[in-house]
Amino acid sequence: MHCEASASLINRMKVIKTIEQMQFFSQHGKKLGKTIGLVPTMGYLHSGHISLIKRARKDTGIVVVSIYVNPTQFGPGEDYKRYPRDLERDRELAKAAGTDVLFVPSNKEIYPDGYSTYIMVEELSEKLCGISRPIHFRGVTTIVAKLFNIVKPTRTYFGWKDAQQLIIIKKMVSDLNIDVKVIGLPTVREKDGLAVSSRNKYLTKKEREIAPVLYQALVQVKRMVNSGESNSAKVLKEVKNLIKAKKIKIDYLKAVNLMSLKDVKKLKKKTLIAVAAWIGKTRLIDNMLIK
């Protein structure tokens, strides 16, 4: 066990597939006085994920990255089946970023026959993405709570790219008194501003060219706020036109309070501007915080 817990020192990465082995590994790591950093992902790793892993590597003694495309967070007709998967590639990327343990459970392991328990953070889960994806966050909070119980992390790392998810996880941790520190890290972007996402792979060349307009729209909101405009309805209307001009279907573009995710009339500090839009058949999200 000592060798395993010190895996990072000899640059070996362990791949664990069962809950029992993962719990055993974490328990022993903790007995040795190690802190554990958990980075939950759905795989198809990219620079956004890598930034989380590298930060966990800096902060903690054992870095666990989970790769699991969680079926309960996908609604009927969503992209669960076609979600990109490439474990070989992920294994190399995770190892290079300093991962000690790659946790890759199967569906049977996570949701055995007869599974019936779900966690739901009310209200926050019903806003923004929760309107068009009503079961999404219930699936997210359930899998993340399970991962916390399995991996027993000291710290866990999430991206601001999925701001609503991060806010909901923080609320769950606080409400359920879960003993873990949740760290939110900034959105990693492509050179043209598009937020890096596994789903960008779905975009055709033409769609990829217009996709950065979501980021440009967020920047435009900031620009208007900086020039003294604070009426959110006015700003959002103007910025929506920017997106619609590219023939992109907006799911929502909203200005909300960072804590409650409720709509705000005035744009000010701690207002989150959040957008979700369909570019062809691909639904992308992005957001920006007014500081």
Enumerate the active-site residues. Answer: 49
Alpha carbons 42 and 62: distance in angstroms, whole number:
20
Q: Which residue has the tokens 């892993």?
A: 53
- Residue with smaller CB distance to ligand AMP, 42 or 87: 42
In this structure, the chain runs to a length of 291
Minimum gap (Å) between residue 211 Cβ and ligand AMP: 13
Q: Give the footprint of ligand AMP on this chain (CB under 6 A).
A: 41-42, 48-49, 51-52, 158-159, 161-162, 185, 187-188, 195-198
Q: Least separation, in Å, of the C-beta of 74 and ligand AMP?
A: 12
d(CA 105, CA 18): 6
DSSP state of 132: H
Considering the complex, state which of residue 28 and residue 189 has its C-beta at the smaller distance from ligand AMP.
189
What is the rounded distance in angstroms from the CA atom of residue 32 to the CA atom of residue 100? 15
Residue nearest to ligand AMP (CB): 159
Q: How far is the CB of 113 from ligand AMP (least distance, A)?
A: 26
CB of 231 to ligand AMP, least distance (A): 30
Contacts of 253 (CB under 8 A, 6+ apart): 217, 236, 239, 240, 243, 273, 274, 275, 277
Whose tokens are 């076609």? That residue is: 82
The distance of closest approach from Cβ of residue 70 to ligand AMP in the complex, given in angstroms and rounded to an integer, is: 8
- Smallest distance, ligand AMP to C-beta of residue 73, A: 9
Alpha-helix runs per DSSP H in the chain: 2-5, 19-31, 47-59, 87-96, 107-110, 129-132, 136-151, 163-175, 205-210, 213-226, 232-244
DSSP string covering 230-244: -BHHHHHHHHHHHHH
Measuring CA to CA, which residue among 247, 253, 245 is closest to residue 272? 253
Q: Report the distance separating Cα 240 and Cα 252, nearest Å.
A: 9
- Cβ atoms of 235 and 102 within 8 Å: the answer is no
